[in-house]
Amino acid sequence: MTLEDADGAYKQLSGLSSQNVRYLAIAGLAWIWLLCGQRLDVPRNLLWPGGVLLLALALDFLQYTSATALWGDIVNKAEKRGLKRQQNVEVPRSINYVARFFFWSKSAVVVVAYVLLFSAIVTRLHIS
């Protein structure tokens, strides 16, 4: 496997993982909505899972906006120095640290949210 192949797999899989985090977060919110029924107030045991699912979506948003800002800054600085699009640009190794932090955080947060959600469902159904 070449480094290019490995990088391609990494990009494809991280993109799918991000997509799945979004799907899981929205599906979890849908479960909460279904469990609330016709009531306008959300039961206390569903507030935490709902809040954590919203946090996962916020972290997803922050991952992409922070990466966009950082990479855009690299491009803008290079263009101001007169570099052409085909020229190589020096990129700090730390450029992806913020995006990786948000990536792994949102992945962990969605797992925590589902633990809380399943716990709330078990409590609600009185399963022991």
Give the model's pLDDT for residue 128: 54
pLDDT digits 0-9 by tens, 37-82: 877 788 889 999 999 999 999 999 999 999 999 999 999 999 999 8
| Cβ(18)–Cβ(60) below 8 Å | yes
Rounded average pLDDT over 115-122 = 94
Q: What is the pLDDT of residue 83?
A: 87
Longest dimension (CA), the chain: 67
Helices first, then strands: H and E counts in the chain: 3, 0
Over residues 18-26, mean pLDDT: 97
Quote the mean pLDDT of the chain: 92
Residue ranges making up the domain that contains 42: 3-125
The Cα 33–Cα 42 span in angstroms is: 8
Give how many domains the chain has, as a whole number: 1
